[in-house]
Amino acid sequence: MSEELRDLEGLGALVTGGASGIGLATARLLAARGARVAVLDLAPDGLPGQLTGFKADVSDDASTRAAVDAAAEALGGLDVLVNNAGIGAAGTVEDNPDEQWHRVLDVNVLGMVRTTRAALPYLRRSARPAIVNTCSIAATAGLPQRALYSASKGAVLSLTLAMAADHVREGIRVNCVNPGTADTPWVARLLDAADDPEAERAALDARQPMGRLVTADEVAAAIVYLASPAAASVTGTALAVDGGMAGLRLRPA
């Protein structure tokens, strides 16, 4: 991707969960492409100078609404919303108590509903409005030990399609990306918790069709494409950035 491409000049973009990993890579790339960018995060600390941080919890409607309003004001409007904040959960249906189900669905699914609800009045005033949701291959892959997380991302996929249908005549495009396992602080935390992080990392790489994880920058490039004028006719799609995991049906020999 050319660093010279400034196709998002004049647009205001808000990225939730934009202080780390995929969200941070997305916020940086949006800014590099000319957008004014705000980040909504639980901890919007240490952001690069071109990003404006707003502290909010997407599981809290009032704080989310206040942050979206403040971001829209700071940016002079809102053209792009990237619903990316999310949390994980491991286990089968026997492992996660109801409270954990409520918590993960509250952040991963209702979090997107809250930010979208707050952002729609601003997006309606945009000439090129777009929403991109960070989903996951977990939405459709049938991953073991990920019942709750997969259910949350399955809901994100359905929500993306429903929102795309509801707002297509208003010119608001809605798409999602389905990352495979991505090399972010989230995965680093999981590996750090393992008995032998290096061996676990090697095993994780070996399970990928390409022999490596996808990078946050690669997922960000897909999100920014879906938010950009190049995708003007693209709505209601899920773009996999997973090194072939979902499509190739490859498993290590």
* Dihedral of alpha carbons 69, 129, 41, 35, sign: negative
**Distance of alpha carbon 204 from alpha carbon 219, whole angstroms:** 18
Tokens of 204: 């994780």
- Residues annotated as catalytic are 149
Tokens of 174: 């809605």
Q: Does 224 engage in binding with ligand NAD (CB under 6 A)? A: no
Task: Report the 10 Å Cβ neighbour count for 88.
Answer: 16
Are the C-beta atoms of residues 14 and 122 closer than 8 Å to each other?
Answer: no
From residue 5 to residue 44, the character string flagging contacts with ligand NAD as x (rule: CB under 6 A) and all else as - is -----------xx-xxxxx-----------------xxx-
Q: How far is the CB of 47 from ligand NAD (least distance, A)?
A: 10
Q: How far is the CB of 171 from ligand NAD (least distance, A)?
A: 26
The secondary structure element, H or E, covering residue 52 is: strand 51-55
Q: How far is the CB of 6 from ligand NAD (least distance, A)?
A: 25
Q: Which is nearer to ligand NAD, 46 or 49 (CB)?
A: 46
Q: How far is the CB of 4 from ligand NAD (least distance, A)?
A: 27
Are the C-beta atoms of residues 149 and 103 closer than 8 Å to each other?
Answer: no
Q: Could you say which residues in the range 167-186 bind ligand NAD, by CB under 6 A?
A: 179, 181-182, 184-186
- Judged by CB under 6 A, how many residues of this single chain contact ligand NAD? 28
Classify residue 94 by burial, with Cβ atoms within 10 Å: 0-12, 13-18, 19+: exposed
* CA-wise closest residue to 109 among 151, 152, 139, 146: 152
Q: Does 57 engage in binding with ligand NAD (CB under 6 A)? A: yes
Q: Does 59 engage in binding with ligand NAD (CB under 6 A)? A: yes
Q: Could you say which residues in the range 86-105 bind ligand NAD, by CB under 6 A?
A: 86-87
Tokens of 226: 């879906």
In the complex, which residues of this chain contact ligand NAD (CB under 6 A)? 16-17, 19-23, 41-43, 57-59, 84-87, 107, 111, 134, 136, 179, 181-182, 184-187
